Amino acid sequence: MKIAILDDYHDTIRTLPCFKKLIGHEIKIWNDHVQNVDVLAERLQEIEVLVLNRERTKIQAALLERLPNLKLISQRSVYPHIDIVACTRLGVIVSSSQHADTPNYAAAEMTWGLVLAGVRQIPQQMSALKAGKWQIGAGSTLREKTLGIYGYGRIGRVVAGYGKVFGMKVLIWARAESLKKAIEDGYEIAESKQAFFETSDVISLHMRLYDATRGIVTADDLAHMKTTALFVNTSRAALVTPGALVQALQAGRPGMAAVDVFEDEPVPDIKHPLLNMDNVVCTPHIGYVSRDEFEIQFTDIFDQIVAFSNGHPTHVVNPEVLKNRR
């Protein structure tokens, strides 16, 4: 089969052990990021299988209708970037393992790195040192502070454990089912959403993005945070009401932020407001970008291709397409 892999920025995927699963297929790997429909349509005209690297490229009807040979989209995790209705109408199978029971340690470790970087001003101190300055301010320690985990899923649970090891009081706010699990694990539950934002010294978001969670963190929520608090987001920017975080930081509540995700990605504009605030630490959505995590993710993705090739597609998110598959 003819297979295309998009958005492999560092040409990493061909070096993974799991890449051997695709031996015998004709593979084209693209290392740049393109969203232009005309360019993508030309590149993918003959492609039968499309491999997506998370949500980096949007695959919508306007593009799908110009890919007559496409039979399978194989990826991992959620799929708000894919027009599932159009895929089903056109006979394109979408396979996407949801890995609900697999902790993403890469993202959890990245989250904790941002927590430490934020409260100790590590990037700012490094920049100052390179500019010939010595100590530009005093950071904060984490011990005996309150870590607020918003969303107690597979990553939130791991980050909560990190907080406990660092001697923090861990406070949880999440949906009812997750709160029950947090209680079973011995963590304290916030009395209310407002109390959660008011009492936490560090708040970290750990939720999947779908209709019910989009904009779940509001400007009012952020306004209740302490002036000394740190807001961390390694999940999805759209969990926060658009523009609310920038405005909140400008108003001084919270006092700091550390983010790995943005409303529009990639971020080519060096004038982006978050990149130009002294109280913000920013990284380019690298929470899951580690060789170890890539091996886990692309093993699932390539296994889906092998299953499709053998006539038994797996993890199909639009099963009704099987009636009129290409």
Six token digits for residue 111? 């989250």
Q: Which residue has the tokens 């983010």?
A: 259
Residue among 76, 208, 224, 285 flagged as catalytic: 285
> Which amino acid is residue 245, in one-letter code?
L
How far is the C-alpha of 169 from the C-alpha of 147, rounded, in Å? 6
Residue among 14, 265, 320, 326 flagged as catalytic: 265
Residue 293 designated active-site? no
- Closest by CA to 170, choosing from 155, 153, 190, 154, is 190
CB atoms within 10 A of CB 254: 26
How far is the C-alpha of 44 from the C-alpha of 129, rounded, in Å? 47
Residue 66 designated active-site? no
Q: Which residue has the tokens 């009129």?
A: 324
> Which amino acid is residue 31, in one-letter code?
N
Residue among 76, 206, 224, 236 flagged as catalytic: 236
DSSP 250-307: HHTSSSEEEES--SSSS---TT-GGGG-TTEEE--S-TT-SHHHHHHHHHHHHHHHHH
Residue 315 designated active-site? no
Q: Which residues form the catalytic set?
A: 236, 265, 285
